[in-house]
Amino acid sequence: MKKKTIFNSLIIELLSEDKELLNTFQLFILNLINYYSDIKENIVDEVNKIWQLFEHTNIFYDEKKANGIFGELLTMYFFKIKFNISIIEFWHSNFNNLFDFEFRYNLILEVKSTTNSSRIHSFNHEQIFSTQETKKVISSVILSKRDKGLSLYDFSLQLKEIFNDYEFACKVDTLFFKFGISEFKKGPCIDLEKTMLNIKIYDSHFIPQFQEIPSGIKNLKYDVNLEKIQYLTENTVFSIFNN
């Protein structure tokens, strides 16, 4: 990776023969071009972000992270096609954040994905612990794997067209880059129709959880089976998020 300035122009050059890396780099540059009118005032900052991202390129494919990203993208798609609500602006900018979506008015949406047939998810205690001040909602996604189905990479291309948003496109490309997802390694493939039917939304208040944690215990995590928990109706979900 090389960066230089010529005649007040900032130029970055990727010095690599890795086709996968070059393809990913090209996606970021295309984002800059396609959304230039929206970001032209901050174009230098955006170019520097690309520079920082590609400085270190020891990237390996992570199947577990890919499943998690798929669940989050599917949840965004679910809200768009079911309720015509876009939640992309509330999506985390860091995959290691405790919560996936943080809205105004103390509303949080956490996404859990699984490839198992049973709806069992692992939670940090803080992700589902209910308080009067904050409402926490869980999107439970069962990924129906299918060898010749829709890949994570191809699904992301569809969403970029649907949302047509620079920040969203960059977040997707950054996550893909970090976890080794690309045109050459497209990630898990699913039966989209079946998976969409298997997305259920829950109020964390009704999910089994510890109400009191003994002093000194930190970073509490546990698995919860949601199979017998009543999920929210579509009308209730719409009323929660249509504010």
Query: For residue 147, with 0-12 CB atoms within 10 Å meaning exposed, 13-18 middle and 19 or more buried, which class applies?
Result: exposed
Query: Which of 18-27, 73-82, 171-180 shows the lowest per-residue confidence on average (mean pLDDT)?
Result: 18-27
95 and 203 housed in the same domain: yes
106 and 205 housed in the same domain: yes
3-state class of 9 per DSSP? strand
- Stated pTM of the model: 0.78
C-alpha–C-alpha distance, residues 150 and 163, integer Å: 19
91 and 135 housed in the same domain: yes
Q: Which of 104, 102, 105 is nearest to 92 (CA)?
A: 102
118 and 97 housed in the same domain: yes
3-state class of 8 per DSSP? coil
Do 76 and 143 touch, CB atoms closer than 8 A? no
133 and 45 housed in the same domain: no
Q: What is the pLDDT of residues 163-213, one digit of tens each?
A: 999 889 989 988 888 888 988 889 999 999 999 999 999 999 999 888 888
71 and 136 housed in the same domain: yes
The per-residue pLDDT of the chain, averaged, comes to 84
26 and 68 housed in the same domain: no
| H or E element that contains 200 | strand 199-203
Q: Which domain holds residue 208?
A: 63-179+187-241
- 54, 71, 93 — which closes off a domain? 54
Question: Could you write out the DSSP letters of every residue in 37-87?
Answer: HHHGGGHHHHHHHHHHHHT-------HHHHHHHHHHHHHHHHHHHHH----
77 and 26 housed in the same domain: no
129 and 229 housed in the same domain: yes
3-state class of 11 per DSSP? strand
- Looking at residue 3, its pLDDT comes to 45
29 and 90 housed in the same domain: no
3-state class of 114 per DSSP? strand
What's the number of domains the chain is made of? 2
Q: Which of 170, 238, 201 is nearest to 32 (CA)?
A: 170
- Looking at residue 123, its pLDDT comes to 93
C-alpha–C-alpha distance, residues 137 and 181, integer Å: 28
89 and 25 housed in the same domain: no
137 and 233 housed in the same domain: yes
